[in-house]
Structure 1
Amino acid sequence: MSESSIGDLFGRVAEDAKAYARAEIGLYRTIAAHRIAKARNGAIALVAAIFLLNAALIALFVAIVMALAALIGPLLSGLAVFLVVGIIAFVLVRYGAGKLSALAGDAEEKAALSAGEHLS
């Protein structure tokens, strides 16, 4: 049985430490990519909600202008459009905010990380 020199042992320890660091970096990259993929649809929904809310405000302003011009009818139709589009935007914001919570990690991911910590 041949014994390794201290220099060889330190060399192996250094290589093992580098491999461990690379594995940790790879794990965190994978976690970040997973979270971003899950949150993407939520971000898209939030952007859509912003555009819909903008359209609702424009419709409201147009209705107010028309109401001031004619003093009958257009204001109520403008308020109805604003209400409907506003409700849709609210639902999209709720959906988007729920999807963005994936950036904090889901239960499955947290369980896997916890199990990995117990192995080391």
Structure 2
Amino acid sequence: MPLRGVVFSPMSHGRLHLLGDAAHLISPMSAEGMSLALHDADVLARAIVRQVQKNDPSLLADYSDTCLHHTWERQASAVRITQTMYDSGDPTYEGEFRKQIARKELETMLEPLTAPHPAA
């Protein structure tokens, strides 16, 4: 089963604002789905509060662009992770060269998590 993302753009139309899975689906390989939904909810909540408290619709008007920028960053990362995970274990996919490149990409992605901490 292919793992792919879907993004609906724009995420707003009039007074309708999509968020979370209603606005975008992301590969589960990236573990970003809930994070994206919470980001959307935070941006939308702040925009609604600004509209109600200050009668300022600017954040609501920018909601879609703000969220789409963040969403596309996460989608790009998810595609990279998914491709790397799929390619790394199958040397017949594109040969030994691609296998080694995929493994190095995985190591690089995990490097910040596995890098030794400086002595205190």
TM-score, normalisation: structure 1:
0.32
Relative contact order: is structure 1 or structure 2 higher (C-alpha 8 Å, sep ≥ 6)? 1
TM-score, normalisation: structure 2:
0.32
Q: Which structure is higher in helix share? A: 1
Computing the radius of gyration from Cα coordinates, the structure with the larger value is: 1
